[in-house]
Amino acid sequence: MIVRTLPEPTVNVVMSPVTAAELERMPQPDAHVELVKGEIVTMSPSGHEHGEIALAIGSLLREFVRKHKLGKAYAAETGFILSRNPDTVRAPDAAFVTAARAAQQTRRQGFFDGAPDLAVEVVSPEDTVDEIDTKVLEYLHAGTKLVWVVHPRTQTITIYRSLDQVRVLTANDTLDGNDVLPGFARAAREIFE
Domains of the chain: which residue ranges?
20-192
- The phi-psi region of residue 77 (left if phi > 0; otherwise alpha if psi is between -120 and 50; otherwise beta) is left
Q: Sign of torsion, CA 134 15 42 81?
A: positive
Walk along the chain (193 residues) and give the pLDDT tens digit of each residue: 455 455 555 544 446 787 777 877 777 665 677 678 878 777 777 788 888 999 999 999 999 999 999 999 998 889 999 999 998 899 999 999 999 999 888 877 888 999 999 999 999 988 889 999 999 999 999 999 999 999 999 999 999 999 899 999 999 999 999 999 999 999 999 999 8
Cα–Cα distance measured from residue 163 to residue 137, given in angstroms and rounded to the nearest whole number? 8
Amino acid at 140: L
96: left (phi over 0), alpha (psi -120 to 50) or beta: beta
Statement: 20-192 belongs to CATH 3.40.50.300:
no
The 3-state DSSP class for residue 182 equals strand
Quote the CA–CA distance of 90 and 103 in Å, as a whole number: 20
pLDDT at 29 (0 to 100):
60
